[in-house]
């Protein structure tokens, strides 16, 4: 017999995170949220 | 991005780093399959090519734009990035696409609410002018998977992007699949004519019925109709919604004689991979003994007229319903698909066999179908936190699983569909290994658009990691459901144990589920698979002719340290000549651009080298060595000469009493 009932596992941690939210939480500060720029692409902000 | 130098070859070499999650690796392969089906872009394991994409688990999901010619070009699929649409999104960047939001004509279509954007994030809403970025003649696409969602980078609760056509407010930011415009742009940028693994699609809307032919030697015919006596009343493509359209193919068994057959053959098809999936909708209103059989007609030099090979009989008793069917094929030569309807007994005087929305591609078929009838009603009338379950399905390896769906979401997620995959076992089951090792379960809500290339199905995958512990227990999460699950009784009275579920509370919003063709004829169709992915636990082989890829250090390992460290450590480092700064063993270093016969080098990539320089250097070195050797030889000769001359001079001296 089952020893105990295990809870479901939410792979998203119960949150609807878009790419940009995931990167922001990870502390990334990339161009447009998810683009790695090199020297030639870097725009003068 | 404008510039041919940013294009990749149509077959892109990739290397999956060891740090990737196994589920992510499996989903990446699924994303590659979508690229193969819908575009001419293909992917192959890196075999020493000078430029390749290294996919690793960084602190998030990110990529460069276009081919940077840096040798190893990194693309991160970090934690929570293992969704097919996210992976396709990042690869679209790598292929040379910016976000839809950065188009030069963006402001014609959306309003940016600058005061609602988080401080310091305004630069994410810049646009590129048309000298840097081209829209490739494709209209602004709210449905692009490269578009931000309405709440991107917001500082409060109000949206940062307002679409000028309000209906698109919730369309933007879809992360389901390529939109038609995404594909059109990709086709234009890479001169694609069609998908590599796509073979044929037919909804019978045109009179030419997609080049299909009536077979020879049969006694009856398939007829293109908009409705049939005895059913169906409408086709499946349009469900009778459009006047003057909505056709399907029908073989009337009501009017045929006993023993009659009718052959419907596809146009000639040329396979490349040797395996195919035939998918079609089938309506059976014929007699109980009438049959639909699938054959292939294969052609080779010995059989110019083709040889008919039986594949399978489509099972099932007559039903007042368009049913979805999949048939796996394994054809390696030129062929046609043949549908044979046969009347094999007495039956009703009306009705027959009907076909619609046929799709053929060189892909693997989904294994299991779960159809939820009257799905809109189910969504609207199920209370929150109430699941419904698919029947248990048995995989090739003998594991049983089922999908649990919360039509009104889990608690706290109203307006969402929540979806979970569960392992299942019955009292007498034996032969499985527990905890279940590395099986990837995929739950796909099928977009039932007639054309496979235009579908934007929603799918999520979870993988059974045999070492994963439950969050609130020391038990293995994917252990035997008889041990970690609970016993349930099915509607038919059968009893089994259902293990805990893994999935997501935010599978799809109701709004999206009610869009496109996710619900057709009132029904939703879930396609489920369980695949063995244990081969993905093994390191991808490194080509023998190439240097091994640099092991992901602080930048490439798990967690958020990686790329944050990259950005922080690299703040004061400027790499010249397209070099890229990255962190290696805790230090910021420049990775310099290289080409086939040139490269940059130096701390900041300030120096340029080339094969020509190397040749010149070798020549100069050789000449210098030769000159030095000559000099040494000349000096030696002179010295020896001098010495002997001196000796000869000394010999005039006569020694006395030598023998005394």
pLDDT of residue B555: 35
* Contact across the interface for B473 and A2, Cβ inside 8 Å: no
b/e for B316-334, b at 16 or more Cβ within 10 A? eebeebbbbbbbebebeee
Cα–Cα distance between B366 and B358 in angstroms, integer? Answer: 15
| Closest residue, chain B, to A39 (C-alpha) | B578
| Closest residue, chain B, to A22 (C-alpha) | B60
Question: pLDDT tens across B4-23, in order?
Answer: 999 999 999 999 999 999 99
* Contact across the interface for A39 and B575, Cβ inside 8 Å: yes
Nearest to B482 among A2, A14, A23 (CB): A2
Question: pLDDT tens across B605-645, in order?
Answer: 777 777 677 677 778 888 888 888 999 888 888 888 888 77
Q: Average pLDDT, stretch B109-115? A: 98
Residues of A in contact with B440 (CB under 8 A): none
Q: Is the dihedral of CA B282, B283, B286, B289 positive or negative?
A: positive
Closest by Cα among B458, B485, B464, B457 to B473: B485
Cα–Cα distance between B136 and B104 in angstroms, integer? Answer: 12
Closest by Cα among B117, B311, B340 to B216: B340
Mutation target to probe the B interface, by most B beta carbons within 10 A, among A19, A29, A45 is: A19
pLDDT of residue B566: 43
Nearest to A27 among B59, B499, B580 (CB): B59
Residues of B in contact with A16 (CB under 8 A): 416, 506
Q: What is the DSSP string of B561-610?
A: HHHHHHHHHTTT----TT-EEEEETTEEEEEPPB-SSEEEESTTS-EEEE
* Contact across the interface for A32 and B102, Cβ inside 8 Å: yes
What band does B561 get if pLDDT is binned at 50, 70 and 90? very low
Secondary structure of residue B443 in the 3-state scheme = strand
pLDDT at B660 over 60: no
Q: How much is the mean pLDDT over chain B?
A: 91
Residue B8 in tokens: 């990749």
Residues of B in contact with A41 (CB under 8 A): 65
Residues of B in contact with A6 (CB under 8 A): 470, 472-473, 475, 477, 484-485, 499-500
* Contact across the interface for A9 and B501, Cβ inside 8 Å: yes
Q: Average pLDDT, stretch B31-39? A: 98
* Contact across the interface for B575 and A33, Cβ inside 8 Å: no
Percent of chain B past pLDDT 90, that is, above it, reads: 78
The single residue listed with the structure tokens 């227990």 is B473
Mutation target to probe the A interface, by most A beta carbons within 10 A, among B31, B55, B61 is: B61
Cα–Cα distance between B197 and B32 in angstroms, integer? Answer: 11
Cα–Cα distance between B372 and B152 in angstroms, integer? Answer: 34
Q: Which has the higher per-residue pLDDT, B316 or A41? A: B316
* Contact across the interface for A34 and B60, Cβ inside 8 Å: yes
What band does B58 get if pLDDT is binned at 50, 70 and 90? very high
Question: pLDDT tens across B152-196, in order?
Answer: 999 999 999 999 999 999 999 999 999 999 999 999 999 999 999
* Contact across the interface for B86 and A2, Cβ inside 8 Å: no
Residues of A engaging B, defined by a Cβ cutoff of 8 Å? 2-20, 22-23, 25-41, 43, 45
Taking the CA of residue A18 and the nearest CA in chain B, the distance in Å comes to 8
Q: Which residues neighbour B628 within 8 Å (Cβ) at sequence distance 6 or greater? A: none
Indicate which residue of B17, B21, B88, B90 is catalytic: B90
pLDDT at B549 over 70: no
Q: Which residues neighbour B46 within 8 Å (Cβ) at sequence distance 6 or greater? A: B13, B14, B15, B52, B540, B543, B546
pLDDT of residue B637: 87
Residues of A in contact with B578 (CB under 8 A): 38-40
Residues of A in contact with B93 (CB under 8 A): 34-35
pLDDT at A45 over 70: no
Taking the CA of residue B505 and the nearest CA in chain A, the distance in Å comes to 6
pLDDT at B361 over 50: yes
Percent of chain B past pLDDT 70, that is, above it, reads: 91
pLDDT of residue B565: 36
Instruction: Write the burial class of residue B192 (CB in 10 Å: 0-12 exposed, 13-18 middle, 19+ buried).
Output: middle
The single residue listed with the structure tokens 């009838």 is B373
Residues of A in contact with B500 (CB under 8 A): 5-9
Question: pLDDT tens across B597-606, in order?
Answer: 667 788 777 7
pLDDT at B570 over 70: no
pLDDT at B44 over 50: yes
Cα–Cα distance between B42 and B33 in angstroms, integer? Answer: 8
Question: pLDDT tens across B419-443, in order?
Answer: 999 999 999 999 999 999 999 999 9
Nearest to A36 among B63, B98, B506 (CB): B63
Alpha helix positions (H), B39-98: 84-95
Q: Which residues pair with B277 in a beta bridge?
A: B328, B361
Residue B553 burial (CB count, 10 A):
15
* E strand segments, B314-406: 322-329, 335-342, 352-361, 368-372, 388-389, 393-394, 400-406
pLDDT at B111 over 70: yes
Q: Residue B564 in contact with residue B578, Cβ under 8 Å?
A: no
Instruction: Write the burial class of residue B57 (CB in 10 Å: 0-12 exposed, 13-18 middle, 19+ buried).
Output: buried
Cα–Cα distance between B595 and B71 in angstroms, integer? Answer: 8
* Contact across the interface for A4 and B475, Cβ inside 8 Å: yes
Taking the CA of residue A5 and the nearest CA in chain B, the distance in Å comes to 6
| Closest residue, chain B, to A19 (C-alpha) | B61
- Catalytic residue flag (residue B21): no
Taking the CA of residue A41 and the nearest CA in chain B, the distance in Å comes to 9
pLDDT of residue B607: 79
* Contact across the interface for A5 and B61, Cβ inside 8 Å: no
* Contact across the interface for B124 and A31, Cβ inside 8 Å: yes
What band does B556 get if pLDDT is binned at 50, 70 and 90? very low
Cα–Cα distance between B529 and B166 in angstroms, integer? Answer: 37
Mutation target to probe the A interface, by most A beta carbons within 10 A, among B31, B51, B57, B60 is: B60
Pairs of CB atoms within 8 A across A/B: 165
């Amino acid at each position: 017999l089952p020893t105990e009932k295990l809870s479901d596992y939410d792979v998203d941690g119960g949150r609807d995170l878009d790419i940009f939210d995931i990167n922001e939480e990870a502390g990334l500060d990339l161009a447009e949220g998810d683009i790695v720029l090199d020297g030639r692409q870097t725009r003068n902000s | 991005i404008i510039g041919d130098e940013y294009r990749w070859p149509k077959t892109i070499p990739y290397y999956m780093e060891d740090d990737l999650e196994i589920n992510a690796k499996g989903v990446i392969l699924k994303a590659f399959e979508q690229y193969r089906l819908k575009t001419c872009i293909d992917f192959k394991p890196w075999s020493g090519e000078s430029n390749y994409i290294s996919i690793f688990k960084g602190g998030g999901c990110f990529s460069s734009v276009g081919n940077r010619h840096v040798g190893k070009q990194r693309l991160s699929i970090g934690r929570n990035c293992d969704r097919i649409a996210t992976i396709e999104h990042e690869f679209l960047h790598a292929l040379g696409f910016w976000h839809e939001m950065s188009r030069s004509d963006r402001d014609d279509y959306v309003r940016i609410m600058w005061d609602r954007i988080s401080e310091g994030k305004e630069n994410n809403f810049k646009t590129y002018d048309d000298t840097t970025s081209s829209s490739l003649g494709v209209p602004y696409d709210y449905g692009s998977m490269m578009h931000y969602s309405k709440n991107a980078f917001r500082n409060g609760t109000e949206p940062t992007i307002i679409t000028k056509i309000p209906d698109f407010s919730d369309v933007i930011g879809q992360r389901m699949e390529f939109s038609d415009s995404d594909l059109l742009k990709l086709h234009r940028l890479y001169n694609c004519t069609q998908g590599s693994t796509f073979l044929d699609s037919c909804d019978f809307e045109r009179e030419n019925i997609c080049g299909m032919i009536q077979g020879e030697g049969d006694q009856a015919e398939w007829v293109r109709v908009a409705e049939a006596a005895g059913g169906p009343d409408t086709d499946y493509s349009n469900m009778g919604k459009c006047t003057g359209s909505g056709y399907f193919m029908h073989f009337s068994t009501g009017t045929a004689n006993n023993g009659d057959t009718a052959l419907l053959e596809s146009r000639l098809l040329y396979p490349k991979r040797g395996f195919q999936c035939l998918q079609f909708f089938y309506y059976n209103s014929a007699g109980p003994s009438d049959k639909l059989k699938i054959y292939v007609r294969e052609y080779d030099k010995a059989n110019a007229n083709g040889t008919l090979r039986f594949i399978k009989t489509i099972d099932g008793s007559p039903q007042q319903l368009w049913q979805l069917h999949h048939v796996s094929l394994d054809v390696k030569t030129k062929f046609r698909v043949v549908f044979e309807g046969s009347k094999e007994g007495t039956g009703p005087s009306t009705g027959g066999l009907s076909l619609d929305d046929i799709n053929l591609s060189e892909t693997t078929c989904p294994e299991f179908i779960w159809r939820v009838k009257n799905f809109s009603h189910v969504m609207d009338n199920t209370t929150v936190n109430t699941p419904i379950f698919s029947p248990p399905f048995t995989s090739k390896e003998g594991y049983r699983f089922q999908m649990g769906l919360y039509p009104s979401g889990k608690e706290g997620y109203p307006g969402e569909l929540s979806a979970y995959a569960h392992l299942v076992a019955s009292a007498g089951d034996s032969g499985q290994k527990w905890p279940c090792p590395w099986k990837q379960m995929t739950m796909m809500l099928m977009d039932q658009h007639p054309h496979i290339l235009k579908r934007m199905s929603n799918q999520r995958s979870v993988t059974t990691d045999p070492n994963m512990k439950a969050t609130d227990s020391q038990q293995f999460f994917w252990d035997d459901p008889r041990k970690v699950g609970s016993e349930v009784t099915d509607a038919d009275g059968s009893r089994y144990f259902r293990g805990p579920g893994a999935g997501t509370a935010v599978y799809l919003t109701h709004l999206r589920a009610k869009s496109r063709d996710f619900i057709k004829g009132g029904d939703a169709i879930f396609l489920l698979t369980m695949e063995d992915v244990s081969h993905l636990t093994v390191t991808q082989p490194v080509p023998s002719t190439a240097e091994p890829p640099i092991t992901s250090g602080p930048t490439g390992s798990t967690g958020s340290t990686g790329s944050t460290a990259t950005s922080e450590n690299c703040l004061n480092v400027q790499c010249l000549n397209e070099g890229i700064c990255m962190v290696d063993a805790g230090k910021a270093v420049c990775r310099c651009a290289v080409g086939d016969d040139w490269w940059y080098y130096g701390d900041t990539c300030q120096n340029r080298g080339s094969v020509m320089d190397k040749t010149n250097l070798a020549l100069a070195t050789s000449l210098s060595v030769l000159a030095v050797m000559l000099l040494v030889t000349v000096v030696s000769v002179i010295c020896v000469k001098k010495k002997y001359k001196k000796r000869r001079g000394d010999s005039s001296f006569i020694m006395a009493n030598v023998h005394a």
